[in-house]
Structure 1
Amino acid sequence: MTFTIESVDWEQHQSRLKALREHVFVLEWQMPREAEFDERDHHAFHVLVIGENNTPIATGRLTRCGELGRIAVKRKHRHLSVYRALFAALIDLAKQHKVPTVKVNLTLDSVSYHQQLGFKIDGQVFMDGGVPRQKMCCPAERFPLPDVSQMH
């Protein structure tokens, strides 16, 4: 599979980013649209993975306080190579912008697995789009690939 990765600006690429996230989260996962987009999009760092015919196949964002999220990958492109490249680009952005710690929001059944990878619990369990989640953090310099099936 051939793809390229671009760091993109929300203002210039929001139509592509929104369309991809709506396809994955709102249509496929049935997440509420109002929970998918927020004010952090305007200030976050975004990565867009582009497949054949210049088609967006995946995206993710890194907020300025280190939260990784909105990881959306089209179903037929959910391969480890896409996830690895997407997370590598996001972690590179964290390092470039001197974000020392990255945070991920995970489903509760993956907390112990991520603790074994070196993630630490950060705060209390919270609800996100009707799904209980736990925020976990890890130094950007030692960030391992998380269980991507447990993220949003």
Structure 2
Amino acid sequence: MSLCIVRPASWQEDGGALRAVREAVFIREQGVPAELEWDEFDVVCVHLLAMNPSGNPIGTARLLPDASVGRMAVLRDWRRKGVGSTLMDRLLKEAENRQLPSVTLNAQTHATGFYSRFGFQQAGPEFLDAGIPHVKMILQFRPR
């Protein structure tokens, strides 16, 4: 069980916290160029923000209007403590509440096992995104 609080966030109100996590993970840790990290979709996505008990941002994820999950990131010191699972559970509940038939994501290949635990299945060959190996994955929801 995670020792974090996950809440809905908006880019307009929580952009600083969302940016801080993504900058730490994607830009500084993984070397993604800043110009590839930021896009026009942030203002129209459903965002989730994970915070530690002190209220500091430690994780984030977003659901795009096209039913894809993206920009899922957890600070290094908080990995393997349930933060990512809590974010994914909440994001998938949001997708189901919106009655989406499926969601997709581009998983870094080292993280495919994590996404598989939620029912995602690989849906294509490996490809490079920002120089990092990824695979497309899809989760089909069962009809209600």
For the superposition of Structure 1 and Structure 2, which TM-score range results when normalised by the shorter chain?
0.7 to 0.9
Name the SS for the 1:61 alignment partner.
strand
**Deviation string, structure 1 residues 48-84 (Cα, Å, up to 9, x no partner):** 0111221011101111211112111011110242121
What is the aligned partner in structure 2 of residue 5 from structure 1?
A: 6
What is the aligned partner in structure 2 of residue 129 from structure 1?
A: 130
What is the aligned-residue RMSD (CA, Å)?
Answer: 2.7
Unaligned runs of 5+ in 1: 143-152
How does the TM-score come out when normalised to structure 2?
A: 0.83
Check the 8 A contact 1:94/1:140 in 2, yes or no. no
What is the aligned partner in structure 2 of residue 99 from structure 1?
A: 100
Change (3 A) 1:113 1:82: closer
Deviates more, 1:96-105 or 1:117-126: 117-126
Q: Provide the aligned length of Structure 1 versus Structure 2.
A: 142
Moved over 6 A (4+): 109-117
Q: How many Å apart are 1:116 and its aligned residue?
A: 9.7
How does the TM-score come out when normalised to structure 1?
A: 0.79
Name the aligned partner's letter for residue 4 of structure 2.
F
Change (3 A) 1:3 1:39: same
Change (3 A) 1:112 1:139: same
Identical aligned residues as a percent:
30
Superposed counterparts of 1:80-91, under 5 Å: 80-91=81-92
Change (3 A) 1:139 1:46: same
What is the aligned partner in structure 2 of residue 14 from structure 1?
A: 15
